[in-house]
Amino acid sequence: MRYLILTYMKRANGQMDEVLTLDQRLKNRDLQSASVILDFRDLRVIKASMDGTTVPKDWDKIVSFYYQHYANVIDRLFRENGREVIKEQPGAINDKDPVSA
């Protein structure tokens, strides 16, 4: 799979439903109705909006946000598209962090 597609639908009671789809190709329907479309082959955000408001297309921020909820799916997408997932170890010393230096 290449694309992670998220569609949000508002219920009559005000709650939001989230539908996750993985696909090899984008359809016109996806481009029109999806809220978030991530391309894992080219590592880019194709679409990012919520309730009609466009969100900045920052790949790292968006992927890290959804990684909290869909870690297995995102790891799989990275692997299938020839990308390596680098996970920071909690408590690891970071030379760029002045506090731990």
Domain residue ranges of the chain, discontinuous segments joined by +? 3-80
pTM summary value? 0.79
Tokens of 52: 């009609």
Q: What is the pLDDT of residue 90?
A: 46
* Averaged pLDDT in 10-residue chunks for the chain of 101 residues: 94 93 96 95 93 86 94 95 69 41 37
DSSP-assigned states of every residue in 4-66: EEEEEEE-TTS-EEEEEEEESS--HHHHHH-SEEEETTTTEEEEEEETTEEPP--HHHHHHHH
Identify whether the C-beta of residue 78 lies closer than 8 Å to the C-beta of residue 43: no
Residue that is written with structure tokens 């996750």 in the block: 20
Q: What is the pLDDT of residue 3?
A: 97
